[in-house]
Structure 1
């Protein structure tokens, strides 16, 4: 089993859309039993699949971390072969407090390990924070995907993540930056991409915007689109990295 975190310190970078489409690629194209685990209280992952979460348990999704709820009681089918969802809810707004109170630095890693008998890949849709939640994500993940739109501020965001890792995690998973929402018609975008030639690129396109409108992964309704090819290529790069790390 491998854990792939899709993480950013800022919102609005296409994080949830990337996580949802990578999970679909993992399950449908990669034929891996996959769980998309939403840790972001905005709870967008289930929406993108048109899945209505079950009635909220008393402890909510955060109760999983406190041992009050079982993940299996909240996991839902996505409607696609091999892909399940573990939806978020607003109880996750208290997740950092819960984790600090527990004092277990690898709580997320342990929960993911417990699910390894059911899933070959776990995709984490992470909240845009830099705190105990992100620290737990780093300890649990085998690879961290960082979506960054073509902007000078993106370089600063990536630098802050790398600084945090260097300061607090002697051993940390590899970081795979992804240039998201790239528009080849814009001069600044092309200029920034030229300085990051090895980064995978997710284009800005109307087809990708339809993922939320249709509540379906891009590959399921526009398999020949450039966006679908970009998501598939990114997933292949992730699998290659996992194989290089010996966790494939």
Structure 2
């Protein structure tokens, strides 16, 4: 199976971002990719933290979900919708959710981001818990090539989450890493998750200077189970892609059966 990650520099305009996403998803599908991953916050990088409340949808309905479902069906591919805001049970807060659609356009899985980002250094400050409700359930789904684990951005710093997924063929990481933290830790953490879980990791990032002034790190990439970067895009809009080599994966697990050697689970 060939997989692809979409890198975007999303704006505050949902309509504009949907046009961009549609074009990049088509470009990814044209490479032969059968599983397509969008980045975190792809529908909107708002001018204010509360802007996401204006486009939040109930699970199962809405313009954004209709777009994802219809595009998956039209392209005949798996689409993991990065993240979008879903209405939560708490007033003035949303869930930051990844939705998975099969090639028939059916919603088959969803994951609500568990770990909410908080960072403060000088004039740079983020606190997702102000507008987002944390999820509490690990999520995976099955494909012909095996299990796919769902994570989002800041989750990358918590290896116990990935252990709870069980043995996966692929782990996906839609993200909007800041330039500061991304430059320091993004690649290291992604490669560590691939090596310790002996699986492929596909990361789709926001990558550039946004209209709200935020600068994201980019470097969307596909990493193999040995920790090798298969493909990467440093910044700007575009697509990274590659084949999941099951013989390579199985060979690594047979030669170095670390997953079988675990004592603490």
Q: TM-score, normalised by structure 1?
A: 0.37
Higher strand proportion (structure 1 or 2)? 2
Q: TM-score, normalised by structure 2?
A: 0.35
